Amino acid sequence: MSPEIQEAFEQVESGFLCAIVLAPLGVSERARDYRKKPLSWLIVKPADYLHECPIQIGERESSGNMRWGMPVSLAVDDRTTFEFFDFFDWYSYGFIDLSYVRVRVGSLPSNPTAQGSLALIEQGYCRFLFMG
């Protein structure tokens, strides 16, 4: 897939976020920050039924690339929060299903050293909260 097609896909994805999620809430202008920075007003929490959640913590390499750790099952509770960054797919040049949510760790009591790090969580383990 060419860089132009990837950019067009990202514009469509941002447009869907704007039209389906943000416009009904009256905050469509917030779509401009999608994939640029964590969205502190869109909180991701573990699904209600979870006591543990597989999470992949990212580590920035000296080259600037992100290296994702292996999934680690961490204890989660009501205090666990993440800030939504974007939907993520491992291979953006082929079939795209955006099965992961990329987040910034806000509060993870079972691993406090991860606070502020980027992480990946499978969508099925997430619930989303709009915080105005």
Based on the domain organization, do 82 and 121 belong to the same domain?
yes
Based on the domain organization, do 55 and 113 belong to the same domain?
yes
Based on the domain organization, do 54 and 114 belong to the same domain?
yes
Based on the domain organization, do 104 and 114 belong to the same domain?
yes
Q: What is the pLDDT of residues 53-93, one digit of tens each?
A: 999 999 999 999 999 999 999 999 999 999 999 988 877 66
Based on the domain organization, do 29 and 78 belong to the same domain?
no
Question: Residue range 6-23: average pLDDT?
Answer: 85
Based on the domain organization, do 66 and 111 belong to the same domain?
yes
Based on the domain organization, do 23 and 43 belong to the same domain?
no
Based on the domain organization, do 44 and 21 belong to the same domain?
no
Nearest to 70 by CA among 56, 49, 86: 56
Based on the domain organization, do 11 and 61 belong to the same domain?
no
Whether residue 18 is predicted with pLDDT greater than 80 in this model: the reply is yes
Based on the domain organization, do 119 and 107 belong to the same domain?
yes
Whether residue 25 is predicted with pLDDT greater than 90 in this model: the reply is no
Task: Look at residue 93 in the predicted model and tell me its pLDDT.
Answer: 65
Based on the domain organization, do 22 and 44 belong to the same domain?
no
Task: Look at residue 38 in the predicted model and tell me its pLDDT.
Answer: 95
Based on the domain organization, do 32 and 42 belong to the same domain?
no
Task: Look at residue 9 in the predicted model and tell me its pLDDT.
Answer: 81
Whether residue 1 is predicted with pLDDT greater than 70 in this model: the reply is no
Q: Contact 101/87 with Cβ under 8 angstroms?
A: yes
The neighbour count for residue 102, using CB atoms within 10 Å, is 23
User: What is the number of structural domains in the chain?
Assistant: 2
Task: Look at residue 16 in the predicted model and tell me its pLDDT.
Answer: 86
Instruction: List the beta strands (DSSP E) in the chain.
Output: 39-46, 52-60, 66-68, 72-75, 81-88, 100-107, 118-122, 126-130
* Domain residue limits at 16: 1-36
Task: Look at residue 89 in the predicted model and tell me its pLDDT.
Answer: 81
Q: What is the pLDDT of residues 83-132, one digit of tens each?
A: 999 988 877 666 677 789 999 999 999 999 999 999 999 999 999 999 98
